[in-house]
Structures are given as C-alpha cells and as structure tokens.
Amino acid sequence: MSTETPGPDITSRPSGRAARERMYRYVLLMCAATSILVTVSIVVLLARDAITFFTLVNPVNFFTGTEFLISRDVYGLLPLLSGTLLVTVISAVIALPTGLAAAVYLSEYASSRMRSVLKPGLEILAGIPTVVYGIFALVYVTPFLQSIGLPVNTFNILSASIMVGIMIIPMVSSLSEDAMSAVPDSLRQAGYGMGATKFEVTTGVVVPAAASGIFSSFILALSRAIGETMIVVVAAGSRPRMLNLSDPLANIYQGYQPMTAAMVQINSADTVSQLGFTSLFAIGLTLFVITFLLNLLSNRIAARYREEYE
C-alpha cells in the first residue's frame, strides 16, 4: 500500500511490474510442480536400486519365493505378503463395519450435541501417532488378550491388527459420512413419503445411494492398513512366516513380519549385504505400487459418485 503512488496512474508504462507478476507466477508454479517432482523422484530412486536388485535376483523367484532370509540371501516376497495380507484382513474386519456404522450414526441419527462430541473424538483417534498405537498393542492389548485366555505370543499379528483397525476407523467414518451427507435430502423425503421408517430409509436409500463413496473410503482404508509401519514394527514381531492354510485361525496368534516391518528391519540391521540392502528398494517399490494403485482406484470410484449428484 505504502509502495504505491497515490491516485490512479494509468499513463505510466507497467515496465517492471509485469515482469514481477510473471516471476511470482513462475515461482508459485514451481512450488506446485514440486509435488510432481516428489512423485517422480520416488519412482526413479526406488526403481534405480530395485532394478539393480532384480538383475541379481530373478523377479519370478522374488514374487513367488516362500522364504525370506536375508542372512542367507534368500529373498521371497510371499512370507512378507502373508503378514501384510493378515494385517489388512483383520483390521478390515474391525474397521470397515465399525467405521460404516459410525458414519451412519453421525450422518443420520446423531443430534448436533452428540456430533460435536463424537466427531472431534474420532479426529483425535486419527491424530494419535502410530508408534503410540504400536506401544498400546504391545504393552496393553497383548497382555489383555493373554489374560482372557487367547494363546497369543508376545509378538502377534492379532493385537497389532486390532490397533491398525482402530487407527483406520476415522478414515472410513469421515469419508463415508461425507458420501452420505452428499445424498440429496429429496431421496430421504421420498422414502419417508412412501411410509418407510428411518431404519428403512437409512439402510434402503441412503447407504445404497452413497455406496460408491463408501467403497472408495474402504479402499483408501485398506491402502492405509497395507502401508502402516510402526504398529506392526513394534507389535507384530520380526519373523517372516508363510500363512498356515491348514489351520487358518492359529495364524493370528503368531508373529509375522509384514512388508513395511521387513523394510525397517533390513535398514536398521548392522550387517547386511549390498544385495540385501537393495532388496529394501524392491520391497518399497512393490509397496508403493500397491498403495498407489489402490489410491487411484479409490479416486476413480469417488469421482463417479460425485458425478451422480452434482
């Protein structure tokens, strides 16, 4: 303000000003383009070492191998995938119904006072650091499970997955609630007009109408569970293990090492061969590709539902 000449000054040539405006535009564009740069550097830098790894280890062996032992240079991804799969499935069993129910309650039933308590509460769940969830699982949940008579080991996939599940509830509930709030009120009124009860309107009209948004939130939550690191590092143990298909229930009492935990372990190991170190990037790239595809899929589904009502 103080730098401007007083009064309108239309006659003077806007000599430097245009250049300055252009420069601001380019500087800001560069800020925005940083995000592309981040993605590109993730892909390039991860691929660089992953390619080194795959020239020495046959990719087929890597993706189908059933043993993962860095000390003997045996790299099979399946045991790590087993761990990741277990965490994802168990946490999904906990989080998806719970998150959906929370979304239904918040969007359809809750009074405004109830909402003002529950919504910040769920936000707090999302704000707790994951390492804290991991400590909860290890120090409090596992002893609790043991005390009620479950034969869980000190490090087990069950308590880790329970905490992962609780951690991703807010993600499911907030995105699903957004989807349900976006359902036009006219649909609900039409349901009531037909004589349907609130329960029937909720389960028969609102939830199906918001289905794509709900699915998109489910996928995003799964992707989050797959990428979750600290909870499984702290509480799920450090032993890569194949799924025991003959006795599925026994699996959940044992410790597993999901992909993310394996990455942390390889990186912090004292003695690790050059090949072992590059395997870090192969696992990381696999993880990145899986989560990236899931996120894209989730966006696609969410974009479809947006078109329906706006």
Partner 1 sequence: MATREPETGWHGEQSDVNHLRGRAFEATCLALTAFGLVSVLLLLLFVAKDAFRPLSADTGWLATYAATVLVPLAALGVYYYRLDEPAGEVAYVTSGLPVVGLLLTGGFAVLFIELLSVLEWFALLISLAVAGGLIVAHGRLRSKAALERLAVMFLAPILTVFGLPPTEFNWFVTDAAAALGLDFGLYYRVISLREAIMLLPFVPTDWAMLLLTLVLPVAGAAGWFVGQRRDSRRDSLAVVGITTVFAVLGVVAGPLLGIGTDIWLLLITFAILPLGVYVEGVVRRGEGVRGLAFPVIAVLGVAVGSVVTGVLGFAGPESWLDWGFLTSATSRTAADAGIYPAMVGSVMMIIVIVLTTFPVGVGAAIYLEEYAPSTGLMGKFVTLIEINIGNLAGVPSVVYGLLGLALFIRILNWPQGSVIVAGLAVGLLILPIVIISAQEAIRSVPDSLRQASYGMGATRWQTIRQVVLPEAIPGILTGTILALGRAIGETAPLLMIGAAASVRLAPNSFFDVASMMPRQIFTWSSELDPAFRHGVLAAGVVTLLAVLLVMNATAIVIRNRYQRTG
2 interacts with partner 1 by CB under 8 A: yes
H or E, element range at 75: strand 74-75
Among 85, 227, 272, 276, binds partner 1 (CB under 8 A): 227
Q: Which is nearer to partner 1, 117 or 250 (CB)?
A: 117
Chain positions 52 to 91 lying near partner 1, rule: CB under 8 A, are none
Q: Which is nearer to partner 1, 45 or 74 (CB)?
A: 45
Chain positions 156 to 195 lying near partner 1, rule: CB under 8 A, are 166, 169-170, 173, 194-195
What is the rounded CA–CA span in Å between residue 101 and residue 241? 34
Residue 33: φ, ψ to 5°:
-70, -15
Chain positions 12 to 51 lying near partner 1, rule: CB under 8 A, are 12, 15-17, 19-21, 23-25, 27-36, 38-39, 41-42, 45-46, 48-49
223 interacts with partner 1 by CB under 8 A: yes
**Residue appearing with tokens 């129910």:** 101
Among 185, 268, 270, 271, binds partner 1 (CB under 8 A): 268
Among 79, 83, 134, 213, binds partner 1 (CB under 8 A): 134
Tell me the residue type at 231: I
131 interacts with partner 1 by CB under 8 A: yes
Give the range of 67-75, 210-218, 249-257, 292-300 binding partner 1 by CB under 8 A. 292-300
260 interacts with partner 1 by CB under 8 A: yes
Least distance in Å: CB of 93 to partner 1?
Answer: 13
Question: Which residues have a Cβ under 8 Å from the Cβ of 160 and sit 6 or more positions away?
Answer: 87, 134, 137, 231, 232, 234, 235, 236
Least distance in Å: CB of 163 to partner 1?
Answer: 9
Give the range of 65-73, 137-145, 178-186, 242-250 binding partner 1 by CB under 8 A. 137-145
Token readout for 211 is 């289905």
Q: Give the count of residues interacting with partner 1 (CB under 8 A).
A: 101
Residue 174: name the closest of 230, 227, 127, 130 by CA: 127
Evaluated on CA atoms 123, 124, 129, 132, the torsion sign reads negative
CA atoms within 13 A on the CB side of 5: 7
| DSSP-assigned letter for residue 302 | H
Burial 95-111 (b: 16+ CB within 10 A, else e): bbebbbebbbbbbbebe
Among 85, 101, 242, 252, binds partner 1 (CB under 8 A): 101
253 interacts with partner 1 by CB under 8 A: no
Residue 260: name the closest of 295, 299, 286 by CA: 286
Least distance in Å: CB of 89 to partner 1?
Answer: 18
| DSSP-assigned letter for residue 254 | S
Provide the β-strand partners of residue 69.
74
